[in-house]
Amino acid sequence: MTLELSNCTYGYRRWKRPVLEDFSYALPDGLTVLLGPNGAGKSTLLKLAASVTTPQKGRVTLDGGSAGTSAYRRAVAWMPQDIVPMPTLTAREYVAYIGWLKGMNRADAWKQARKALLKVELADQTDTRTNRLSGGQLRRVGVAGALVHGARVLLLDEPTAGMDPYQRRVFRDILRGLTGDVRVLLSTHDVADLAEEADHVTVMYGGTVLHHGNTDTFLTHTPPGTLAGRAAEAAYTELLRSRGVAA
C-alpha cells in the first residue's frame, strides 16, 4: 500500500511562490514523524495527502488510485491542526459525523464513534457538546475522528499539541496498538516525545524534504555527549544547523 505525491505543486495564492513545487514523496510503512520549523510546509503536505486540497500540478495516489475518489477518502484519515468545535454536536455525534462523511453507515459510525472515544479515554465526555471541551480534550476528539473509520493511512497534524503528558502517553499507546498495515504520517513539534517512537523521520524546510530515512539514520545526527532522552531533539537541531538552516 503506497501513498504517493508525484511532482506536486501547490500554492495558496496564485501570485506567490508555491509552498510545494514539483514535490514528490512516498509514505513508508509504519510510523513516520514529520518534523520541520514553522512554515516548512508540513500541514500543506498533509492536506494534499488527505485530499483536502488538490495540487495545481502533479498527482496524489494510493496504490495508483487517484485522490478525491470515495475509495481514497475512505482509506485515508486526516486530523487537521485546528479542530473546530461544532456547538450543536456532542463529542460522539462529532466523531460519528466524521465516520459518516467517510462513507460509513449511520449505525456503524455511531457504534465505532463510541469505541474511538474509549480509546482516547473520553468515555465520560461522549455526551458533552464539543464547544464545552478543553483544548486538549478537543484534540483527543480529533484523534478519535481519525480512528473511527478504520483507515489504512492516518495523517495527523500535530495530534499531541496541548495534550497533557499522561494523554500524550495514551496517544503513543494508541499508535503502538494499531494493527495490520496501517501507515501513519504525523507532524509534530514534540520532537523528544515522538521521534524515537517512529520507524521513519522526515524533516522539511522551505517546502522541501531536508532529510528522510529510518529513525536510526536520523539519530546518527545526535552530537556526542547529548543527554539521555534528548537524542532526537539534538539530532533535529544538528541536522538543521548542518544544512545552514536555523530552527
Ligand X SMILES: Nc1ncnc2c1ncn2[C@@H]1O[C@H](COP(=O)(O)OP(=O)(O)OP(=O)(O)O)[C@@H](O)[C@H]1O
Q: Confirm if 204 and 41 have CB atoms less than 8 A apart.
A: yes
**Which span sits near ligand X by CB under 6 A: 35-43, 49-57, 95-103, 147-155?**
35-43
- Closest approach of Cβ 59 to ligand X, in Å? 19
Residue closer to ligand X (CB basis): 38 or 70: 38
**Residue 80 binds ligand X (CB under 6 A):** no
**Residue 19 binds ligand X (CB under 6 A):** yes
**Residue 105 binds ligand X (CB under 6 A):** no
**Residue 145 binds ligand X (CB under 6 A):** no
Q: Confirm if 36 and 204 have CB atoms less than 8 A apart.
A: yes
SS3 content of the chain, % helix, strand, coil (to 5): 40, 25, 40
Q: Which three cell numbers stand for residue 245?
A: 538552516
Task: State the alpha helices, DSSP H only, in the chain.
Answer: 42-49, 70-75, 91-101, 106-119, 135-147, 165-177, 191-194, 215-219, 231-242
**Residue 31 binds ligand X (CB under 6 A):** no
**Residue 39 binds ligand X (CB under 6 A):** yes
Q: Which three cell numbers stand for residue 126?
A: 461522549
Residue choice 32, 44, 126, 237 for contact with ligand X (CB under 6 A): 44
**Residue 38 binds ligand X (CB under 6 A):** yes
- Closest approach of Cβ 115 to ligand X, in Å? 30
**Residue 42 binds ligand X (CB under 6 A):** yes
Specify the residue for cell string 449505525. 107
Residue closer to ligand X (CB basis): 36 or 99: 36
Determine phi and psi for 207, rounding to 5 degrees.
80, 10
The residues of the shown chain that bind ligand X, judged by CB under 6 A, are 12, 19, 36, 38-44, 81
